[in-house]
Structure 1
Amino acid sequence: MKYTTKQQLNYTLVLGLLASLGPLCTDLYLPALPELANELQTTTASAQLSLTAGLIGLGFGQLIFGTLSDKLGRMRPLLVSLVVLMAASIWCALAPNIGQLIAARVLQGMAGAGGAVLSRAIARDLYSGHELTRFFGLLMLVNGLAPIFAPVLGGVMLTLMDWRGIFFVLAIISTLLLVLSRLRLNETLPPERRNQGGIISMIKSIGSLFGQRQFMGFCLAQGFVGAGMFAYIGASPFVLQDIYQLSPQMFSLCFAVNGIGLVIAAQTSTRLSLRYGELQVLKFGLGIAGCASLLLLLASALHAPLVVLLVALFFSVIVMGIVAPNASSLAMQNQGNNAGSASALIGVSMFSLGAISVPLTGLKGTSSLSMALTILGCYTLAILCFTLLTKKDPVGKALV
């Protein structure tokens, strides 16, 4: 099916908004974490567990909705995920204690995963090759607005409401996206292309991906870089607000600057991939990740001034904009009808690894050093997985 330019713009906007559900679920309430911990009379580590719970849900929810979409089509799982997201957000807002909040966050993350995984799967239904890379870049442009504005909006909202109000806003956003998806999106996976098997067949389709070295190399490279970014997301509110005494609004501003850098990096890398190939740009991004995380560790260990730490942190964060579009495109190139499962596994790797990296930053008390060590460890593993699993990859050579 051919789409007009107007339809493509509509799809880019709506899919970008759907993909932004993950960052919204994690970033919108970040400035409220210290307040949340105080009101619920819990520890910093327990408050961070609410973020970890959301990441776990985001990871495994993609596995559920991605595989279901290969069998049922894209639209039905998408609409169900948005309804559940609305209900889970209301539960978060009404949670009386940290235990219920953590449980609600798992469900919220699982539901929010539907938008993330299905936006990639729908893009794969529509595009391939460099067009797919360019579309992923456009998705990241729209999607990148969420992490830029979410903490800023969250900081502003805290001047008008408490942390519970933020979750009510998420419920409203999910309702609006439900209406927008129903009106603007069409089914992109016709019945004849769907997985006709049962649950066993769906599990096998995911299992087969683990045997594809090139896919796993790109998947884990993106996953570990994403885990490093989530370590930053989970630790930075406490590092910058509690240790460096920034206000929620100033923290939100710092977060926004990094988000703008990430979007610019994503758009630049997409253009560079057309000239040099996705593989070379991905290597470049991983190289920056290694160098920037080392500088961040040095700045933290030497107790450098805040401005030095922020510069190192900026470059450590924007590498996600270089790695994600190119790694996703390379991983998805040959998946075809298996796009939902492949997209799900990419999401599972990133969010499940992120769920591990976030609490690692607070094992002995959250600090700039613990944050830097975790980010460096994640980026090092990303480079190792890419190097070991994609070596002598014929698909990669063809893209150079």
Structure 2
Amino acid sequence: MPPAPSSLIVIPRWLILMGLLTALGPLAIDMYLPAFPAIAQGLGTTPGHVERTLASYLFGLAMAQLFYGPFADRYGRKKPLIAGVFIFIVASMGCAFTGDIEHLTWWRIAQAFGGAAGIVIPRAVIRDNFDTRDASKALSILMLVMGVTPILAPILGGQVLAFGNWRGIFVIMAACGAALLAGVVLTMKETLHPERVIPLGLDIIGRNYLALLRHKRFMCYTLAGGFGSAGMFAYIAGSPRVFIEVFDVDPQHFGLLFAVNAAALIVAAQVSARLLNRHTPQALLKKAQISLVTMTLAALALTLAGAITLLLLMLCLAGFMASQGFVNPNAAALALSEQGKRLGVASALMGTLQMLCGASAGLAISIWQTSSALPLTSMLAACACLSWLFGRLALKAT
């Protein structure tokens, strides 16, 4: 087992591998976004049908996590991870060589079932090796990877389109999966202690999930992070229309604005990791959620008053994303802190609930169409307030 240092100044190689595995699922979300028109043309379908392949992927990513948790608690972390990455590779190649939109949709669901392993299992591995404080630091490092991926993936996808076609994007996804699979097989050590193995059975799985659903602190911390993540999904879904249509931002400059807010998330997550040397995760979470609510309510108030400008919106969004850089890793570490004997199941349920929160927020903002920033700022404020509420309930239950 890797050592558990009190400060993650030197990032161990196994943690870098976990970070890259965590990026695999988001890579499959963002890398093919620039190719939507090309896919629609190539498969002779409508843009709406192509957009549904993204929704199918998100749904598959949410539900698949429930399966990996029990298997990771029974067979260890390494074997299910190998199986998941292998499924991702095969499904990516299936996407690359599909001949119609129906098969692409099914291959995307299969791809999600593979990529979900990279979301569930790295969190469990981190908690296998670190206590709550150092787990928060490690999860902040994962936030760095998660923040960089949405910036680089669409750029990479656009470059692939410049030199080839959309099928090459999925081939590159498969190649990334193959490289990570080699890393897991050759370098990863099993971190699940034999005494923590949980037998695999429907009754046992059901009892574990039911116990987690009844565990107040776990659920509240999970939903505190989940509604924070839901705000991020609302931002991802709603910001293109707000920036481009409401504030007349050139589509070529949209990526720059998106990168600024992603940078706020990345920097804040790393600051959070450093502050954990002097502060508890609970203290950082409490202050960050106050900031989360303040920034989003300010954006909503400015929108309702008709005083919102692009600059003011960007300041509020950057504040929201920076706050989320503190909320997400600390809420996740606190949610898993008491689940040592069922970390796989706990990580799976946490990921599923957070993904469902995010997908619901994204769907809601896509349905609410107006000629202003109101849907975006309203959804951000609602998600932030719910995150604050569940965070307070979790802290009171401690």
TM-score of the two chains, using structure 1 as the length reference = 0.88
Distance 1:314 1:161 in 2: 35
Partner of 1:322: 326
Which shows bigger deviation, 54-63 or 157-166? 157-166
Distance 2:310 2:40 in 1: 25
- 1:48 Cα shift? 4.1
User: Does 2:310 align with 1:306?
Assistant: yes
User: Does 2:371 align with 1:362?
Assistant: no
2:137–2:272 Cα contact (<8 Å) kept: no
Partner of 2:156: 153
Partner of 1:10: 13
User: Does 2:57 align with 1:54?
Assistant: yes
| Cα deviations by residue, 1:38-71 (Å, 9 ceiling, x for unpaired) | 7654355x55433322222222221111221001
Which shows bigger deviation, 284-293 or 312-321? 312-321
Amino acid at match of 1:218: Y
| Cα deviations by residue, 1:278-315 (Å, 9 ceiling, x for unpaired) | 11211122112212222333455537443333332222
| Cα deviations by residue, 1:248-287 (Å, 9 ceiling, x for unpaired) | 5532222222222111111112222332311121112211
Partner of 2:72: 69
2:36–2:47 Cα contact (<8 Å) kept: no
Q: Evaluate the alpha carbon distance shift between residue 191 and residue 270 of structure 1 in structure 2; reply closer, same or farther with a 3 A threshold.
A: same
Q: Evaluate the alpha carbon distance shift between residue 80 and residue 2 of structure 1 in structure 2; reply closer, same or farther with a 3 A threshold.
A: closer
2:37–2:47 Cα contact (<8 Å) kept: no
Task: Find 2:386's aligned residue among 381, 386, 390.
Answer: 381
User: Does 2:177 align with 1:174?
Assistant: yes
Distance 1:4 1:286 in 2: 28
User: Does 2:24 align with 1:21?
Assistant: yes
Tell me the matched-pair count. Answer: 392
Distance 1:153 1:297 in 2: 34
1:95-174 equivalence runs, <5 A: 95-174=98-177
1:272-291 equivalence runs, <5 A: 272-291=275-294
Secondary structure, in 3 states, of the residue corresponding to 2:152? helix
Amino acid at match of 1:21: L
Partner of 2:354: 350
Partner of 1:398: none
- 1:324 Cα shift? 1.0
1:62–1:113 Cα contact (<8 Å) kept: yes
Partner of 2:376: 371
1:136–1:329 Cα contact (<8 Å) kept: yes
- 1:7 Cα shift? 10
Task: Find 1:230's aligned residue among 208, 228, 233.
Answer: 233
Name stretches of at least 5 consecutive residues in structure 2 with no aligned partner. Answer: none
Secondary structure, in 3 states, of the residue corresponding to 1:275? coil
Task: Find 1:91's aligned residue among 91, 94, 108.
Answer: 94
Secondary structure, in 3 states, of the residue corresponding to 1:339? helix
Distance 2:308 2:212 in 1: 44
Distance 2:241 2:39 in 1: 12
Secondary structure, in 3 states, of the residue corresponding to 2:277? helix
1:27–1:233 Cα contact (<8 Å) kept: no
Amino acid at match of 1:353: C
Q: Evaluate the alpha carbon distance shift between residue 304 and residue 48 of structure 1 in structure 2; reply closer, same or farther with a 3 A threshold.
A: farther
**Percent identity of paired positions between Structure 1 and Structure 2:** 35
Amino acid at match of 2:374: L
1:293–1:312 Cα contact (<8 Å) kept: yes
| Cα deviations by residue, 1:331-354 (Å, 9 ceiling, x for unpaired) | 111111211111111101111111
| Cα deviations by residue, 1:155-186 (Å, 9 ceiling, x for unpaired) | 43343344443222212111111111111211
Distance 2:145 2:310 in 1: 30
User: Does 2:257 align with 1:254?
Assistant: yes
1:235–1:366 Cα contact (<8 Å) kept: no
1:223–1:349 Cα contact (<8 Å) kept: yes
1:47–1:98 Cα contact (<8 Å) kept: yes
Which shows bigger deviation, 95-104 or 80-89? 95-104
Partner of 1:81: 84
